Structure formats: C-alpha cells, structure tokens
Structure 1
Amino acid sequence: MGYTELKAAAKKLQPLIEAEADEAERLTHLTDATVKALQDAGLYTMLLPKDLGGAQITFSDAIRVVEDVAYADASAGWCTMVAGVAGSTVGAYIPDGGAEKIYGKGPNRIVAGQGVPRGLARRADGGFVIEGNWSYGSGIYHAEIVHSGCTVMKNGEPERYDDGTPVVILAHFDREHMELGHNWDVLGLRGTGSYDYTAKDLFVPDDMCYEYAATDPVRGGNQYSLGLIGFTSFGHTAWAIGVGRRTLDELAEVARTKANPFGVIGDSASFKEKYAHAEAKYRAARAFCYEAWDDLSEVLLKDRPASLEQIALIRLAMRHIHDVISENAVFAHINGGGVSLRKSRLQRCFRDIHAGTQHILLSDQIVQACGQVLEGRVNQDAKWNIFGVLD
C-alpha cells in the first residue's frame, strides 16, 4: 500500500471518524470503531519501515494523509500522528530482538506512551530496571506496547555523554505492566485518552530499548536518520494543518447563514476582510510547512543528511502553523455569532487547537534555536536535539 491508497483511505474514513467524535469526547479516548478503522486502513503503519510490513511513505506524504484525519476530528488526527511517531521510531531504532517481539506477527501493533524522560532507569544484567509516572500518554488506552522515556541513573546521578547531556533511553513493555490513570479531564483533545500511567521496578531487556538521541536507524534507511526530532515535527505539523483548515471551513459555513441584529455575519465588509486575512495567513503557513518538508524529503530520498537549516525550517514551520491556527481560532470564536459558546464543531476546533498549542515542542526556546541557526550563529559541529541546538 502506497501514498495514493492511504490518502484515499483517509478521505473515505472521514464520515466515520466525525460520527464517532462525540462519543470519543464522552469516553475521553477514541472509540474502538475509529481505532479499528484507522488500523485496518494502514494509517497507523504508514511510516513503519517496509522491513516490518509498513508502507514507509515519505514524511511529506504522511503529512498529507494525517491532515485529512485531523480535519475530520482533531483527536483522531492526534492519535494517528502519535501512532506514526511512536510505532515507526520503534520500528526504525529498536534492536532486532525487540523488533521481532513487537512486530514478529505483523505490523498492526499500537505503540503509545510518553517519550519525554519522566522516568528513571538503572542498568541491570541484560537490560534496565525502570520506574516512573508519565503524563500525556496519548492513545495509550488502545496501545499494546508502551514506550517510556527514562533517564539512566548511576549512584544517584544521571549518566552523561561526553558532551555532558544525560543518557536517556526509550523503554518498551507490554501494557499489562503499567497502571493506567483515567484522568484526562481537559479543555480540548478530549478524545485522545492522554492519560497518566505508572510503572514500578520493571525490568526491560536491552533489546526492548534504544537511546532517545538515536539517529542511526537499524532499518528503514536514511529517512529515519532524523530521529525523534523529525518524527515529532512531522506529527504536530500534520495535525495543525488539518484542524486549522477545518476551523476556517466551519466559520465560513456559520458566516453564510448565521444572522445577528445587524444582518448575516458573512455579509459584513469587516468580516469579509478579516476572513480573507485569516485565509491568507493559514494558506501561507501551510505552504511554508510543505515547502520545508518537500525539500527535506527530497534530500532524504537522495540518501543525503539533513542540514541544520533544514531541521530549523521544519521546526519553525511547525511552530508557525500553530501560531496561525491559534489566532484564527480566536477570530472564529469572536466572530462566529456565539456558535462556539455551545456544543458545536466550531467549539471543538477552538478547544482542540488550544489544547494542541500547549505542547512542549512548541516552546519559545526551540523557536529561538531556529533563529540562531538561520542567522548562521552556530559552529560547524553544532547539532540539534529534541529541545534545541547543542553548539
């Protein structure tokens, strides 16, 4: 299955995904019907390496697919991109023994959890003993394999690489070994089931772990050399493009029919001007995202390394599209004639966007690092990590 089939599948699933969205919000996790449909269509494995049965499409193409899912429902789009990030990085970087344990019977295994190192690990014979309490485990309700970031400790202190940064691993284990909280009572993205979870004194074999900073893929080839930086940037960018488009489309529908004492909202010259600017900002931001990703995907397909500038551009585009859709969602809320005060698709867009923009990878410090790189104020040995540039 390739990009064309996956894109068509995402479009075909939009009515089902949208029909299940209210129930997902009530449950605070995706419905079984939505998850099964996404899995059966191959959308959870579109970035999994071909060696493990995945489609291994390009990042640019994967963004175009997730965009359609997020358009139908932001929570479903979020969980689809999380499955792409978590499952595909596992597929690329985990040792052969672990890959066999997880994917030996087929590619349709859901991996979810929290990669940010909120847990601790200590070395043991043949692996690590881990413990921790992780938050924001998006999609974990349906996960079979849990992935969890852990700082490796020795004598009460973090182990460190030569450059001084802590050694962090991603440990993977069966869901039966975690205790799941049901505490996802939030403003938006209510259907993602981003619950807290806990593991205590759990042994995880070496072959079920890989280093958080990994950029040398075991399988999948050069596309996977971007590491978690690239995968997370793909996911959040795709999500924002989809829900951002839906917000403007919902507002336009309201404006065509909703009236106040001054007339139909969309007939106002002021509204028309502001709506035009909102469209321009969104379309420019979307174009920036695809320009940056299409350029990077072409380089990766030619088996060349990504440059510092290319990474800066995909990360900057990710933040910029979130800034734009946040501004547009506020515009829609203020100018939607009160529609978003009550339960509606426009309200859900507003809530979901302002949940998604809380993510740590949209921090100002990362944008500042992008500026540093684009100014040319880094040395030739500088490199990106998940939270900035090591110079």
Structure 2
Amino acid sequence: MATTTQAPTSAAHRSQFDAARKWVDIARSLASLVESEVPQASKDSIITPKVVQAWKDAGLYGVLLPTHLGGGGVDNVTYIEIAEEISRQDASAGWVYANHQTGTLFPGMLLSEETFRELLGPNGDGIACGAGAPSGNFGTAKRVDGGYLVQTSPRPFGSGSKYANRVVARVALVDDNEEMTIGDDGNPIVVYIWVDPSNVEWLNDWNASGLEGTGSGSYRIKEHVLEAKWMGTDTGKRAIDDPAFTQGFTPVSSLHHAGVGLGLAKRIIEEIAKSARGRRRGDVPALDQYPLFQADFVRIESSYQAARALVLDAFREVWDAATAGRVTDLHTVRIEQANLHLHRALDEIVSTALLWAGSDVIPKDSIFARLNANARIALNHLMVGPQQAAKIAPQVLAVWQGDDSTIVS
C-alpha cells in the first residue's frame, strides 16, 4: 500500500506520528470486515451493526474526545488519518464513522459536562448525531411541566443516526399560543435538542445512487416532553476546555468531509494503479508503461498529495490555535478552503481514473462504479459546493490585499 507521510524529526512530532500510526493500524486491521459488509450495508441502506461494534471494540469510538472523558485524546490530524483509512475501505463506512465522531462533539460544546458525560455513557462511546445543520426546517419547543414539549417535521440527511444514543434536531421556542419567541436580534430563538431514539420516527427513505450504506434518510422527532438539560444554544462559552470543542463548529463539521474525501481519492488511485498493471488498452500493450497514462497518473497522485498536505496543515493550525486559545476567522476560512480544494482535486482524480479504467468501469458491481457513485454524492454536499468558495473569497482576498506578512497565515 502506498505511503502518504514521512515521520517528522522532532521528539514531539515523532510521538504524535507514532500515535497516529497506531490508530491507523487499528483501523486498517478491520479493513477485511468493513469491505465484506459492504453488500449488506447497501442492501440495508446503512452500515451493519457488526462494523459499528468492531469499531467500538477496537477503541475507535471517541478518539477525538479528551482522555478525561474516556476518549482517545487525538488531535485533528490523527483523526483525519484514521477517517481516511476507514473511508478508503468504504466511503459509506467512513461517512458514518465521521458523523458519529464529529457529531458527538457538538453536544459537548453546547450542553453541560454532566449531561454530556451521561450521553457518552460508562464506556465513553456514546453517539450523538443527526441532521443538526442550520436550516429553516425547524420543529417547535414549548415550555411545560418537566421540560419542553418538542416535535419536528421530517428532517433529511440523518446519516448514521440509527446507531445514536441521542439524535439531534433544531427547534424554535414557542409560547403558550404556539407563537415563535423572538430574540433580541429580531429572529426566532432556535435551539439544538438531543432526544432519545425511542422518540424518533425513521422514515427509511434513503435510496441513493451513491453512499448507499450511510443511512442518510429522513426522520422526525415525535411529540414528547424533553428535559431542559438536553437543549443547548451557542453562547460562545464551552463547558469543556479542550481543543476538540473550542476549535469551533466549522472545523469540526469539516473534519467529516476531509477524511471521506481523502479516503476516496486514495482508494481510486490505488485501484487505477492496479487496473493499469500490464493491461492492454487498444493499441497500448501495457497501460502502466504508456507515457500518457504515466503522466496522468503522476498528475493525479500529485493532486492527492498536495490536497492532503493542505488539509492536514489547515487542521493542524486550527488545533494548535485552539490549544493556545487564539482561533481566528482566518483559521476557519483556511479549513474551508482546504476542504474545497480537496474536493475539486477529488473530482479531477476520479474523472481521470475512470477515463483510463476503460471497460473496468462497466460492471455495475465493480469497484470503479462504486467509487464513482460515492464520490459524486460526496462532491454534491453543500459544505463543499462552489458557493462556499464565494463565501470565503473576501477573507482570502483581504489577506493578499493587505500586509504581506499575513499571506502565510
């Protein structure tokens, strides 16, 4: 298998490198299981319980949580390398794993530490995830005895939520007359809620052309009374002072896509390299010895390595900044920029690999067909869409239009 990093030389970086290698090796040891479960996951529209339990047994759940909460205490870069390996095995598995790991950080940002510990459970491997992203599709929450009466209409894209201990949604506060409560900014007051799965109705409507095993279908929160402790708003203060939580919402959300994108890119490069070995294509007797293929292969491998380096650097910088308590808007912009670049590189890598794969892409159950379908869905996600580049462009331009010393930020 191709290597992608070299060990750093300083003692601190050597320790970090060794820790990452340990976790990646653990994830790699489960590759045969993950890949063998892909057909069943596609049939069920969600990865199998056997895979989730194997990850838990291997200690791969909660790796981003600090050690005092029973987690692995790894940094962003180590997490991405773990997620990259799992996504290399199967993008649907990587997508669910990512949603379970990053999704569980959000209640740690918004709830009390005591409530968060309850969510994690005695083994520290509790899961919180769901369709918690901002949108106008809010439910409602009305103050009653014992907490809040909550409910939502169907919410799409609840990736991996059927395995969650607590499922997230967003609700607007309403008064006794069912009128929305308006905040000081003139907008409805909207809060995050985390509910027990027994109060969730799964609509089982995930029938996708790619990422089939992510279980990213819709769900709704049934009407029930939710204790107030399971409701959270972003006050800017964090109950748990750890970089995993203080780095901010966007870096954590972007971790999800970074690992999956890198894993997909790596796997398709591996597959086209194997497919080309000694294979005739038209008048070309051995594709891997053909100069035009070799030139394209070098180009896409370079794109992967460059995108990977940019991603890891951006996430390392925001982690270091969070550790020092100095995360800036520019750190977040660089995260988004790196993720956008990665997914544009992924698009190029997939397209080029499929061009040279020839008839290997034709079988419906081929690895190329699966990788292409998975990549197309991943590339379609809102967080890596072209509108995100327009959003961050003013900050990037400002860096280059200002003092030259800020260009390296």
TM-score (norm. length: structure 1): 0.89
Q: Hey, what does 2:103 align to over in structure 1?
A: 86
* Equivalent pair of 1:255/1:265 in contact (CA under 8 Å): yes
Residue 399 of structure 2 corresponds to residue 371 of structure 1 = no
Give the Å deviation of 1:137. 0.8
Q: Hey, what does 1:322 align to over in structure 2?
A: 343
Distance 1:29 1:374, change over 3 A: same
Mapped to 1, the partners of 2:231 and 2:340 lie a distance apart of 30
Please show how residues 287-366 of structure 1 align to structure 2 within 5 Å.
Answer: 287-302=309-324, 304-342=325-363, 343-366=365-388
* Equivalent pair of 1:67/1:242 in contact (CA under 8 Å): yes
Identity, % of aligned pairs?
Answer: 23
Q: Hey, what does 1:262 align to over in structure 2?
A: 283
**Equivalenced residues, count:** 375
Distance 1:54 1:165, change over 3 A: farther
Please show how residues 141-156 of structure 1 align to structure 2 within 5 Å.
Answer: 141-153=162-174
The one of 31, 34, 44 aligned to 1:27: 44
Show CA shifts across 1:272-299 (max 9, x none).
2222211122211111111111222222
Give the Å deviation of 1:153. 4.7
Mapped to 1, the partners of 2:192 and 2:96 lie a distance apart of 19
Distance 1:138 1:166, change over 3 A: same
The one-letter amino acid paired with 1:34 is V
The one of 152, 160, 172 aligned to 1:131: 152
Secondary structure in 2 matching 1:54: coil
Residue 190 of structure 2 corresponds to residue 168 of structure 1 = yes
Distance 1:266 1:16, change over 3 A: same
Mapped to 1, the partners of 2:188 and 2:60 lie a distance apart of 34
Distance 1:164 1:371, change over 3 A: farther
Give the Å deviation of 1:269. 2.1
> Going by fraction, where is strand more abundant, 1 or 2?
1
Show CA shifts across 1:181-234 (max 9, x none).
2221111111111121112323222211212x4542211424412332121111
Give the Å deviation of 1:257. 3.7
The one-letter amino acid paired with 2:119 is I
Mapped to 1, the partners of 2:24 and 2:184 lie a distance apart of 44
Please show how residues 111-260 of structure 1 align to structure 2 within 5 Å.
Answer: 111-116=128-133, 117=135, 118-125=137-144, 126-127=147-148, 129-153=150-174, 159=181, 162-163=184-185, 166-211=188-233, 213=234, 215-260=236-281
Show CA shifts across 1:81-137 (max 9, x none).
101111122234322453243234331222221112433223314335232211111
Mapped to 1, the partners of 2:188 and 2:327 lie a distance apart of 24
Mapped to 2, the partners of 1:93 and 1:108 lie a distance apart of 18
The one-letter amino acid paired with 2:398 is G
The one-letter amino acid paired with 1:283 is Q
5+ residue gaps in structure 1?
A: 378-391
Q: Which has the larger radius of gyration?
A: 2
Mapped to 2, the partners of 1:85 and 1:158 lie a distance apart of 30
* Equivalent pair of 1:97/1:207 in contact (CA under 8 Å): no
Q: Hey, what does 1:63 align to over in structure 2?
A: 80
Secondary structure in 2 matching 1:115: coil
The one-letter amino acid paired with 2:141 is R
The one of 125, 128, 132 aligned to 1:108: 125
Show CA shifts across 1:319-365 (max 9, x none).
11011111211222222112122122222111111111121112333
Please show how residues 33-44 of structure 1 align to structure 2 within 5 Å.
Answer: 33-44=50-61
More moved, 183-192 vs 43-52: 43-52
* Equivalent pair of 1:131/1:202 in contact (CA under 8 Å): no
* Equivalent pair of 2:247/2:322 in contact (CA under 8 Å): no
The one-letter amino acid paired with 2:138 is G
Secondary structure in 2 matching 1:286: helix
Mapped to 1, the partners of 2:65 and 2:112 lie a distance apart of 15
The one-letter amino acid paired with 2:27 is A
Secondary structure in 2 matching 1:45: coil
Distance 1:268 1:55, change over 3 A: same
Mapped to 1, the partners of 2:110 and 2:73 lie a distance apart of 14
Show CA shifts across 1:54-80 (max 9, x none).
223211211111111111111111111
* Equivalent pair of 2:65/2:244 in contact (CA under 8 Å): no
TM-score (norm. length: structure 2): 0.85
Distance 1:197 1:64, change over 3 A: same
Mapped to 1, the partners of 2:265 and 2:179 lie a distance apart of 43
The one-letter amino acid paired with 1:50 is T
Mapped to 1, the partners of 2:206 and 2:214 lie a distance apart of 9
Give the Å deviation of 1:159. 4.7
The one-letter amino acid paired with 2:263 is G
Secondary structure in 1 matching 2:262: helix
Mapped to 2, the partners of 1:266 and 1:80 lie a distance apart of 34
Secondary structure in 1 matching 2:55: helix
Give the Å deviation of 1:157. 6.6
Secondary structure in 2 matching 1:229: helix
Q: Hey, what does 1:389 align to over in structure 2?
A: none
Show CA shifts across 1:152-181 (max 9, x none).
456777555545565332211111111112
